[in-house]
Amino acid sequence: MRILTASNAKPEPNGAPAHCLVRPERITIASLKDPMADGMNRVTGRLTRRLFSGHWTTLFVQLGDQEVRVGLPSSATMEIGEGDEVVLAWSPDHTIILAT
């Protein structure tokens, strides 16, 4: 179970199942050793592949049995390779929680 926060979420009971929605370009990706700002939602996963599309690169990260996409400008430099464990982080302001 992961505990995530959203600045505009309706109160749900703790532990209630829910879906978390975040636009791919709002997610920051970093290695496990990189510092992250306090107050950010965070999950860890494994970088599985990169898709270069001109000015934009999509990174695919495996989170348990789910795969999520992270969108970055292709000019962003990263020292993270395919197969590396990573941290995904985003602001509660960019989080939408939907009860299931």
Contact 100, 12 (CB under 8 A): no
For position 37, which CATH number holds? 2.40.50.140
CB 76 within 8 A of CB 58: no
Q: What is the C-alpha to C-alpha distance for residues 55 and 32, in angstroms, rounded to an integer?
A: 26
Residue 90 lies in a domain: yes
Count of domains forming the chain: 1
Interatomic CA distance for residues 78 and 72, integer angstroms: 10
Q: Find the domain containing 31 and state its range.
A: 22-99
The torsion angle over the Cα atoms of residues 22, 87, 75 and 82, rounded to 10 degrees, is -110
Query: pTM of this prediction?
Result: 0.79
Domain assignment present for residue 61? The answer is yes
Residue range 14-29, pLDDT digits in tens: 677 778 888 888 888 8
Would residue 89 count as lying in a domain? yes
Residue 96 has pLDDT above 60, yes or no: yes
| 86 or 100, higher pLDDT | 86
* Residue 5 within a domain: no
Is 65 domain-assigned? yes
